[in-house]
Structure 1
Amino acid sequence: MVFKKLAQLTAASLAWSSPEQQRLQLENTKAADNGYFHWAAIKPSTSFKWHDCFGDFKCARLQVPMDWQGHSDEANKTVELAVIKVEATVSVTDPTYGGAVILNPGGPGGSGIGQVLRAGKNVRTLLSAGPESSNGVGKHFDVYGFDPRGVNNTTPTIICQPDSIAAGKWQIETNAYGYIGTSDTSFDNGIAKHVSTAAVARDIVEIFERHASERRATLARTVYKKGAEMVQYLGFSYGTILGATLSAMYPDRIHRAVLDGVADSFDYMAGGWSTNLPDTDLEFVKLGEYCWLGGPTNCPLYDEDGPAAIIDNLAKIIANFIHEPIGIPGDAISGPVIVTYNDLKRVFRDIVYHPLREFTVTAQILYDISQRNGSSLAAYKRAHFEPSLDHSLSERCLSDGPYSEACGGDDGAASFAIACSDGQSRLDQTKESYREYAREIQSQSRLIGEEWAVIQLACTAWHARPAWRYDGNFTAKTAHPILFVGNTVDPVTPRRNIALMKKGFVGAGELHVDTEGHCTYATVSMCAGRGLREYFQSGKLPEAEKGDKMRVCSPDRLPFDGYTELEDVPLPEGETDVEMWEALVGLNRVWP
Structure 2
Amino acid sequence: MVSHRKGEGDSAVSPLKSSDAWSWRPGTWGRIRNWRYVYVLSVVFALCIFQVRFRGGPHDRVLNDVHNPESPELWTEWLNITPSEKLHWQPCFGIYGPHLQCARLTVPMDYSRPLNESADHPKVHLALIMVPGTGRTRDPSTYAEAPLLINPGGPGGSGVSFVQSRAGSFQLLVGNQHDVIGFDPRGVGASTPKADCFASPNSSNGVLGRNVAYMNRLTWLISGQEVGLINSSDVALNKLNARARTIAQLCRRVDESEGDGSIFRHMTTPNSARDMLSIIQAWDEWRSSSQATQPIQSSAAAHPHEQRTLNDSEKSKASLKGKLVYWGFSYGTLLGATFASMFPNKVGRIVLDGVVHADHYVNPTWDSSVGDADAVWDKFFVYCAEQGTLCKFYRTGDDPEDVRKRFSETLSLLEEQPASVILPDTNLPALVTASDVKKSIFFAGLYAPIVGFPVIAELLDHALHNRLGHIAKGAGMVSLCSNVTLPVWPDDAMKGIACSDKRYKLNDDVAGLQARFEKAASHSWFADIWFGGEPALGCNGWEIESKDPPMRWDDHPAHKPALIETNFPILILSNTLDPVTPLSHALEMTRKFANASIVEQDGIGHCSISCISGCTIAHLRAYLNEGVVPPPPKFKSDSSNDGQWPTCQCFDKPWTASGYEAEESLSRLSVNRSHTRAYEELRAQFSASILSQQLDYNNPLKEYLVERSGLATSYP
Q: Does 1:477 find its partner at 2:549?
A: no
Q: Does 1:528 find its partner at 2:621?
A: no
User: CA offset at residue 446 of structure 1?
Assistant: 2.4
- Which residue among 160, 174, 180 is the counterpart of 1:127? 174
- Give the whole-Å Cα distance in 2 for the aligned partners of 1:86 and 1:367: 42
- Give the whole-Å Cα distance in 2 for the aligned partners of 1:332 and 1:201: 43
User: CA offset at residue 525 of structure 1?
Assistant: 1.9
Q: Match for residue 364 of structure 1?
A: 458
Q: How far does the alpha carbon of each residue in 1:87-143 deviate from its partner, in whole angstroms, 9 at most, with x for none?
A: 1123388889463010111111111111111233312221227xxxxxxxxxx2111
Q: Does 1:141 find its partner at 2:141?
A: no
Q: How far does the alpha carbon of each residue in 1:354-377 deviate from its partner, in whole angstroms, 9 at most, with x for none?
A: 211211111111122222322355
- Give the whole-Å Cα distance in 2 for the aligned partners of 1:203 and 1:544: 30
Aligned ranges for residues 62-77 of structure 1 at < 5 Å? 62-70=105-113, 76-77=121-122
- Give the whole-Å Cα distance in 2 for the aligned partners of 1:48 and 1:441: 46
- Which residue among 138, 146, 163 is the counterpart of 1:116? 163
- Which residue among 148, 154, 169 is the counterpart of 2:191? 154
Q: Match for residue 390 of structure 2?
A: 297
Change (3 A) 1:506 1:372: same
Aligned ranges for residues 195-234 of structure 1 at < 5 Å? 195-218=267-290, 220-221=292-293, 229-234=322-327
Q: How far does the alpha carbon of each residue in 1:5-63 deviate from its partner, in whole angstroms, 9 at most, with x for none?
A: xxxxxxxxxx9427999999433999999734111111111110001011321100111
Q: Does 1:457 find its partner at 2:537?
A: yes
Q: Match for residue 374 of structure 1?
A: 468
2:489 partner amino acid: G
Q: Match for residue 82 of structure 2?
A: 43
Taking only the aligned residue pairs, the percentage that are identical comes to 27
Q: Match for residue 512 of structure 2?
A: 433
Q: Match for residue 5 of structure 2?
A: 17
User: CA offset at residue 496 of structure 1?
Assistant: 0.6
SS of the residue corresponding to residue 359 of structure 1 reads: helix
2:226 partner amino acid: A
Change (3 A) 1:262 1:533: same
SS of the residue corresponding to residue 15 of structure 2 reads: helix
Q: Match for residue 330 of structure 2?
A: 237
Change (3 A) 1:166 1:516: same
- Give the whole-Å Cα distance in 1 for the aligned partners of 2:17 and 2:147: 29
User: CA offset at residue 548 of structure 1?
Assistant: 8.4
Q: How far does the alpha carbon of each residue in 1:125-164 deviate from its partner, in whole angstroms, 9 at most, with x for none?
A: 21227xxxxxxxxxx2111111111112111112132322
Q: Conserved in 2, the CA contact under 8 Å of 1:513 and 1:520?
A: yes
- Give the whole-Å Cα distance in 2 for the aligned partners of 1:154 and 1:148: 7
1:149 partner amino acid: R
2:624 partner amino acid: F
Q: Conserved in 1, the CA contact under 8 Å of 2:102 and 2:130?
A: yes
Q: Match for residue 505 of structure 1?
A: 593
Q: Match for residue 699 of structure 2?
A: none
- Give the whole-Å Cα distance in 2 for the aligned partners of 1:48 and 1:18: 23
- Give the whole-Å Cα distance in 2 for the aligned partners of 1:432 and 1:302: 43
Q: Match for residue 625 of structure 2?
A: 537
Q: Does 1:26 find its partner at 2:14?
A: yes
Aligned ranges for residues 404-443 of structure 1 at < 5 Å? 407-411=487-491, 413-426=492-505, 429=508, 432-443=511-522
Q: Match for residue 176 of structure 1?
A: 226
1:460 partner amino acid: N
- Which residue among 125, 132, 138 is the counterpart of 1:80? 125
Q: Match for residue 53 of structure 1?
A: 92
When structure 1 is superposed on structure 2, of 428-437 and 60-69 the one drifting more is 428-437
Change (3 A) 1:543 1:19: closer
Q: Conserved in 1, the CA contact under 8 Å of 2:155 and 2:498?
A: yes
Change (3 A) 1:81 1:431: farther
Q: Match for residue 135 of structure 2?
A: 90
Q: Match for residue 307 of structure 2?
A: none
When structure 1 is superposed on structure 2, of 502-511 and 542-551 the one drifting more is 542-551
Q: Conserved in 2, the CA contact under 8 Å of 1:442 and 1:453?
A: no
- Give the whole-Å Cα distance in 1 for the aligned partners of 2:600 and 2:16: 45
1:353 partner amino acid: Y
1:209 partner amino acid: Q
Q: Does 1:444 find its partner at 2:523?
A: yes
Q: How far does the alpha carbon of each residue in 1:279-323 deviate from its partner, in whole angstroms, 9 at most, with x for none?
A: 112222111111122221344325534223222322222223321
User: CA offset at residue 516 of structure 1?
Assistant: 1.2
User: CA offset at residue 166 of structure 1?
Assistant: 1.4
When structure 1 is superposed on structure 2, of 246-255 and 366-375 the one drifting more is 366-375
User: CA offset at residue 75 of structure 1?
Assistant: 7.7
Change (3 A) 1:370 1:430: closer
Q: Conserved in 2, the CA contact under 8 Å of 1:261 and 1:487?
A: yes
TM-align CA RMSD? 3.5
Change (3 A) 1:359 1:332: closer
- Give the whole-Å Cα distance in 2 for the aligned partners of 1:202 and 1:499: 26
Aligned ranges for residues 346-357 of structure 1 at < 5 Å? 346-350=439-443, 351-357=445-451
When structure 1 is superposed on structure 2, of 97-106 and 454-463 the one drifting more is 454-463
SS of the residue corresponding to residue 67 of structure 1 reads: coil
TM-score, length-scaled by structure 2: 0.70
Q: Does 1:466 find its partner at 2:554?
A: no
When structure 1 is superposed on structure 2, of 105-114 and 267-276 the one drifting more is 267-276
- Give the whole-Å Cα distance in 1 for the aligned partners of 2:277 and 2:598: 24
Q: Conserved in 2, the CA contact under 8 Å of 1:104 and 1:112?
A: yes
Change (3 A) 1:197 1:323: same
Structure 1: which 5+ runs fail to align?
Answer: 1-14, 130-139, 398-406, 564-568
Change (3 A) 1:103 1:331: closer
Change (3 A) 1:97 1:459: closer
